[in-house]
Amino acid sequence: MPRYRLLIEYHGGPFQGWMRLPGLQTVQGVLEEAAARLDGGPVEVIGAGRTDAGVHATGQVAHMDLRQDRPNKVADAMNFHLRPHPVAVLKAEKVDE
């Protein structure tokens, strides 16, 4: 499966931090929901670091593995599925595992 490195920015106001937590809105959670809609199944998004509730980020790095190989469309497709959340994928590039 192709691995993609993501460069992400977000406004942390509406989030309970980075890490996925059941029943709470988190940055990792909305990214995984968007990735699942893009890829047609569950996708785990792994962050290089974590933020606390309400904290913003302008250069967070994460990676995910997708079943489909579409390097030129990942960032735009993720951003489409992330609406209306204040999260944006600035760059997505295919990388070696």
Looking at the annotation, which residues are catalytic? 52
Q: Which of 9, 20, 2 is nearest to 61 (CA)?
A: 9
